[in-house]
Amino acid sequence: MTGRKDNCTGMKEKSMSEEIRYPENQKIIDCMKREVENAVGNGTWDKITSGHCPSSSMDNKALSAAACSMLEKLDTLEQNKGRAAFVKVRHGLTGEDFRWAREEFLKYNDIDKFAEVILQNQLETLKRLKDSNESFYGQAITEQVYQFALTVPDLFYGKRYGNRILSTAIPFHAHEYLNAENDKEKRYFMCHCQFARESILTDRTVSDTMCSCSLGHNLMFWETVLDMELEGEVLHSALRGEERCQFAIFLPDEILQKYTSNE
């Protein structure tokens, strides 16, 4: 994407598709293995992937089938520890991927102002892509999609409500999501996860333990921004049979006191 410009806030326009370069599948799989072993114990990965191990050579249907088998075994073995492990997977991203966000936050030192600016910049990016007929992570931004985005106050990295930041994901293919003929199609077009999305169209959906990975992505963003470890929760997800994916990030009192003006 090209053509960055200053907006009315004085902040350089930054879009997620400019700032985030997602790792390849194998790096994410390696991260899954490392975090599962750390959380549950050595040898756990081999137990849960025996005979059906995710691989970077698989297409998305095969990846989903392998992930379904893997997480069924992990949930049976240690569901809580498994969820904690997948929070740490974080799509393979690290704090360095969000260093730009930390730098921008330090211009404001205010969670609400920063979140407002981030959302506004993302909406401006969507409008620019719509007007220039360019894609956003491979999906077309139509007028319908843009108008939908304007109606979601906590889209992308979220908005603070009290001691929580709520964050709602934009659908993976928003135009198709908005025009889906049934709930299953809607959930399919909602889901971003290449390790799970195809399973939604089958009678054996990947466990929502996988959604902890997306929670971890959001946590990594805000942990980097606020320079401290945080806790969070998956509130809604397509893998749970819901039509949106939404996450909560919990803010400690010390952060509220330091970085909000109305607490």
Element at 222 (helix H, strand E): helix 211-226
Which residue has 């992570």 as its token pair? Answer: 137
Query: Domain coordinates of the chain in residue numbers?
Result: 90-259
Contacts (Cβ under 8 Å, ≥6 apart) of 97: 19, 20, 21, 220
Given a cut of 70, is residue 11 above it in pLDDT? no
Beta strand 159-161 pairing with 246-250: unpaired
Residues constituting the chain: 263
* Mean pLDDT (whole number) for 243-256: 98
Residue 261 dihedral angles phi and psi, to the nearest 5°: -100, -5
200-218 pLDDT, tens digit per residue, is: 999 999 999 999 999 999 9
% of the chain with per-residue pLDDT over 70: 90
Contacts of 149 by beta carbon, 8 Å cutoff, 6+ apart: 123, 126, 155, 170, 174
CB atoms near residue 24 (< 10 Å): 10
Using an 8 Å Cβ cutoff, are 133 and 177 in contact?
Answer: no
Is it the case that residue 20 has pLDDT exceeding 50?
no
Q: CA 158, CA 168: separation in Å to the nearest integer?
A: 7
**What is residue 24's predicted lDDT score, i.e. its pLDDT?**
86
Q: How far is CA 68 from CA 60, 198, 199, 233, in A?
A: 12, 10, 8, 21
Task: Give pLDDT, residue 9.
Answer: 33
| 196-204 contacts, C-beta under 8 A, 24 or more apart | 196/64, 196/67, 196/68, 196/239, 197/60, 197/64, 197/172, 198/60, 198/61, 198/63, 198/64, 199/64, 199/65, 199/67, 199/68, 200/238, 200/239, 202/64, 204/68
**DSSP-assigned letters across all residues of 178-196:** HT-SSHHHHHHHH---TTT
Q: Is pLDDT of 18 > 70?
A: no
- Is the pTM here over 0.85, yes or no? yes
In this structure, what is the dihedral angle of CA atoms 219, 220, 226, 228, given to the nearest 10 degrees? Answer: 90
**What is the DSSP secondary structure assignment for residue 108, as one 8-state letter?**
T
For 142-163, the pLDDT digits (tens) are 999 999 999 999 999 999 999 9
- pLDDT tens digit sequence for 70-86: 999 999 999 999 999 99
Residue 1 is predicted with a pLDDT of 28
Per-residue confidence (pLDDT) for residue 16, from 0 to 100:
44
What average pLDDT does the segment 116-136 reach? 96
Tell me which amino acid residue 208 is.
Answer: D
